[in-house]
Amino acid sequence: MKKPFLLLFAVLCLQTVSAQKEAVTIAIKNDASAPTINKNIYGHFAEHLGHCIYGGFFVGDTSKIPNTNGVRNDIVQALKDLKIPNLRWPGGCFADTYHWKDGIGPKEQRPTIVNQWWGGVTEDNSFGTHDFLNMCELLGAEPYLSGNVGSGTVQELADWVQYANFGGKSPMSDLRRKNGRTEPWKVKYWGIGNEAWGCGGNMTADYYADEYKKFATFMSDWGNTGGITRIASGANSSDYNWTEVLMKNIPLSMLGGVGVHHYAVINWEKKGSDVDFTEKEYFLTMQSALKMEELVTKHAAVMDKYDPEKKVAMIVDEWGGWYDVQKGTNPGFLYQQNTMRDAVLAGATLNIFNNHADRVRMANLAQCVNVLQAVILTDKAKMITTPTYHVMKMYSVHQDAKLLPVDFKSPLYTFDGKSIPAVSASVSKDQKGLVHISLVNVDAVNKNKIEIDVKDLGVKNFTGSIITSSKLQDYNSFENPNKIVPVAFKGFENKKGKLEITLPPYSVLVLEGK
C-alpha cells in the first residue's frame, strides 16, 4: 500500500511544481481609443497634521536647515525629482476648521488655532495661503485647495477664490497685493468641503448636495484661464449611494470632479504595527488595498449613468495604507514607517488608477511628509525617502502617457483559505514612443512568471528597474536610508518579441522598451 501512495504523492508534487511554473500571459492592446493617463493621478496630500507641515515641509525662514521662505529645499528637490503634479491642502478634516484669512498678513499678527482633529496642538498659522501657493510654484505642482464648508461660509470660500485668482481690482485682490503678491496664482482645483459624511459635518448625501450647489454657485472663476474645477466631497469607500445622489442632484456644469476616499486598513480599532507585522496582516492589508479595483469600477458605473461622456472626473483624493502609529509617537500625529508592504500597495494601487484612466483623473496619496504612507520622512535636519517614494518615481513615466490596456488572468495569492490576485500590471506608451510596463507581485512567498507578447508595440530593447528586499518588513531608516532603492532588473529575456519575466515575491518592477 505504501508504494502506490508514494507514487500518487510524487505525481501530486510534480503537478504542483508544474502549476507554479506556468507563466501568466499578459496581452497588451494597442487601442487607439484608450485614454491618456492623467499625470494628476500621481498627486499628493499635505494636511495640517502631525509633522507634515510644521517640522516637515515648513521649518521657518530662521531655521539652519536650508530653506526658501521657510520651506525645506531638500523636500522641494525630492518632490521635483518625483515630478509631483499636484498637492492637496490644508486637509483633510483640518480643512473644515480652517479659516484662510487667519493665515495671511504679517505672521506675528496672525491668530493661533487649536488643531482639534489631530493631537489638540496649538498652531500659529505661520504657514498659510501665500506659503502654500508659493511652495507649489517652487515644486512646479498644481495646488488643490480644500475649502471650508463644515464651519465656514459661502462668502469665505468665494473670497478665497477671488483672493487667489482675480487679477483685477477688488477687495480681495487688493488685500492680496497688500500682503505682497501682485499677480494671482490662478488656482484651478478647489474642493468644496472634505468628508462631508463624517468630520466635515456628518451630513447626509442629499443635504451635502444642496450645500455643494450653494457654495459652487458663488465660486466664480475670476478670469482664470480654463476656469476652475470644483470638486465634490465624495464617498467613503463603498458608499455608492453617496455618489448616486451627487451625480443625480448636482448639475454636471457645476461638477468638475467627485471624490472617493479609501484606506487599506485591517481593522479600524486595531490597525496593526507599521513594521512588526505578520504575513496574515500583510495579506489582509493587501486584500483591503486591492478592493480599490471594485470601488473604482462600481463608482464609475454610477457616474456613467448620469455622465456617459465622462466629463466629470473621479478623484481619489485620499488613499494609502493606515497602521497603528510608530511606538512612542503621538497617536494624533499618525506617524508610521514605510516598508516593502507599502511599496507593493502603492504599485498595485497605481496600476488600478492607470487602467481606469478614462474616469480616474486625479488621486492624492495620504500623505506627503511624516504622515501615514508618506514618501518623505524627516528627523530634524535629516530627510529620507521611502519605498513608496521610489515606486512613485519609477511610475512617473506613466504621467500623461497613452494607456495600453492589458488583458490577463492573474494567478492567486492564497493565505489561510482566502485568495487575492497575485499579479498587477499596467502599460503605457509616451509621446517619445517609449513603452513602460509596470508589474507587481503581491505574493509574499512565491515567484511569478510572466509572458508578454511585445512584437506589435514597435519596441525591441528593454531595460528594467525593480524594488524588492530580503524581508517584507524592511524599510529605509535614518541610519540606513538606502536599504530599499530601485536596482537594475535582469530577470527577463526577450525571445523573438516575447518577454519572459520572473517576478520575485513582493516586488515592484518597471520595464522600459525603446
In this prediction, residues 474-498 reach a mean pLDDT of: 95
Residue type, 178: K
Binning pLDDT at 50, 70 and 90, where does residue 15 land? Answer: very low
- What nine digits make up the cell of 363? 488621486
Distance CA 480, CA 210 (A): 52
Stretch 84-92: mean pLDDT:
98
Give domain status of residue 512, yes or no.
no
Q: What are phi and psi of 130, to 5 degrees?
A: -60, -45
Rounded Cα–Cα distance for residues 82 and 492 (Å): 26
Query: Does the structure show a pLDDT above 70 at 19?
Result: no
Mean pLDDT along residues 363-387:
98
In a domain? residue 411: no
Confidence (pLDDT) at 226:
62
307 within some domain: yes
Q: 195, 219 in Cβ contact below 8 A?
A: no
Given this model, what pLDDT does residue 30 score? 85
Name which of 293, 360, 384, 430 is nearest 43 in CA terms. 360
Find the domain containing 380 and state its range: 39-88+235-403
pLDDT at 223: 55
Using DSSP, state whether 156 is helix, strand or coil: helix
Q: For the segment 443-460, what is each residue's pLDDT rounded down to a tens digit? A: 999 999 999 999 889 888
Residue 304 lies in a domain: yes
Residue with the three cell numbers 530653506 = 67
Report pLDDT for 378: 98
Q: What is the pLDDT of residue 227?
A: 86
Q: How far is Cα 514 from Cα 432, in angstroms, rounded to an integer?
A: 9
Residue 395 in any domain: the answer is yes
Cell numbers given for 264: 487599506
**Residue 144, beta-bridge partner list:** 88, 189
* For the chain, percent of residues with pLDDT exceeding 90: 91
Q: Which stretches does DSSP call E strand in 155-228?
A: 189-192
Residue 296: CB atoms within 10 A of its CB come to 22
* Separation between Cα atoms, residue 403 and residue 399, nearest integer Å: 10
Domain count, the chain: 1
* pLDDT tens per residue across span 266-304: 999 999 999 999 999 999 999 999 999 999 999 999 999
Cell numbers for 198, please give them.
463624517
Cα distances (Å, whole numbers) of residue 386 to 250, 424, 473: 40, 21, 13
Residue reference for cell 508659493: 134
pLDDT of amino acid 456: 86
Residue 10 pLDDT > 80: no
Q: Looking at the predicted structure, is the pLDDT value of residue 233 above 60? A: yes
Asked if 231 and 206 touch (Cβ cutoff 8 Å), the reply is no
Give the number of C-alpha atoms closer than 13 A to the C-alpha of residue 261, restricted to the C-beta side: 20
Residue 323 has what DSSP assignment?
-
In the numeric block, which cell numbers belong to residue 244?
A: 448616486
Local confidence band at 317 (pLDDT 50, 70, 90 cut-offs)? very high
3-state secondary structure 43-66: EEECCCCCCCCECCCECCCCCCCC
pLDDT band at 12 (very low <50, low <70, confident <90, very high): very low
Residue 104 lies in a domain: no
**CA–CA separation, 9 and 7 (whole Å):** 5
Residues serving a catalytic function are 195, 318
Q: Are 501 and 452 in contact (CB under 8 A)?
A: yes
Residues in the chain: 514
CATH number at residue 55: 3.20.20.80
Of 352, 275, 284, 344, give the one whose Cα is nearest residue 505.
344
Percent of the chain with pLDDT over 70: 95
Judge whether 195 lies within some domain: no
Mean pLDDT of 488-504: 93
Q: In the predicted model, is pLDDT for residue 196 greater than 50?
A: yes
> Where does the pLDDT of residue 485 fall: very low under 50, low under 70, confident under 90, or very high at 90 and above?
very high
Residue 108: beta bridge partners?
none
361 domain residue, yes or no: yes
201 secondary structure, DSSP code: T
- Would you give the end-to-end CA distance of the chain in angstroms? 59
Phi, psi of 497 (to 5 degrees): 85, 10
* Segment 373-397 mean pLDDT: 98
Q: Which grid coordinates belong to 233?
A: 466631497
In whole angstroms, give the CA distance from residue 137 to residue 491: 40
- At 44-77, the pLDDT tens digits run 999 999 999 999 999 999 999 999 999 999 999 9
Mean pLDDT, the chain, integer: 94
pLDDT per residue over 242-275, tens digit each?
Answer: 999 999 999 999 999 999 999 999 999 999 999 9
Residue 98 has pLDDT above 70, yes or no: yes
Instruction: Give yes or no for residue 31 having a pLDDT over 90.
Output: no
The pLDDT of residue 11 is above 50 = no
